[in-house]
Amino acid sequence: MDDSPDGYPAQTATFPGRCDSLIGICEFVTRVAEDAGLSARAVYAVQTAVDEACANIIEHAYGGEGRGDIECACHINNDGLTVILRDHGRPFDPASVPEPDLRASLEDRREGGLGLYFIRQLMDEVRFEFSPEAGNVLTMVKHKEKTP
């Protein structure tokens, strides 16, 4: 992947789509998020969002472990960090995931949708794209916290 517009080199890694890769992915994004100068709170948000997204890729895009890779590219810029996850599993349309009813009791809630909800709450920007050539591309942005 190319360098970011701010001149920082992109850091990329490819991981097997397996649950035991989640630790390595977390270590990778943690290191880059810390290098980007994110606060401990923002680093935790990135860790949690990336972990949830990668678990969803393994379960939903690939339909199980060991059926494809997860490409992770991290771009540091002056405002924070952009994480791009790419897989070549089943196409994902976020519009197909209904918003969770957070007011419903646990017994009455529909299964699914909370992970995507949490990712959107944790990150400042979330975009999904799909093309047959590029596969599923999830772009997540976390901005540095503004100092008063």
Tell me, what CATH number does 139's domain have? 3.30.565.10
Residue 1 pLDDT: 44
- Secondary structure element (H or E) that encloses residue 44, with its range: helix 40-56
Q: Is residue 1 part of a domain?
A: no
Q: Is residue 120 part of a domain?
A: yes
Residue 135 pLDDT: 95
Q: Are 45 and 94 in contact (CB under 8 A)?
A: no
Segments in the chain below pLDDT 50? 1-3
Q: Are 16 and 60 in contact (CB under 8 A)?
A: no
Please state whether the predicted TM-score (pTM) of the whole model is above 0.85: yes
Q: Is residue 4 part of a domain?
A: no
Residue 90 pLDDT: 94
Structural domains counted in the chain: 1
Q: Is residue 2 part of a domain?
A: no
Q: Is residue 58 part of a domain?
A: yes
Distance CA 140, CA 55 (A): 15
- Give the largest CA-CA distance in the chain: 50
Q: Which domain holds residue 56?
A: 11-143
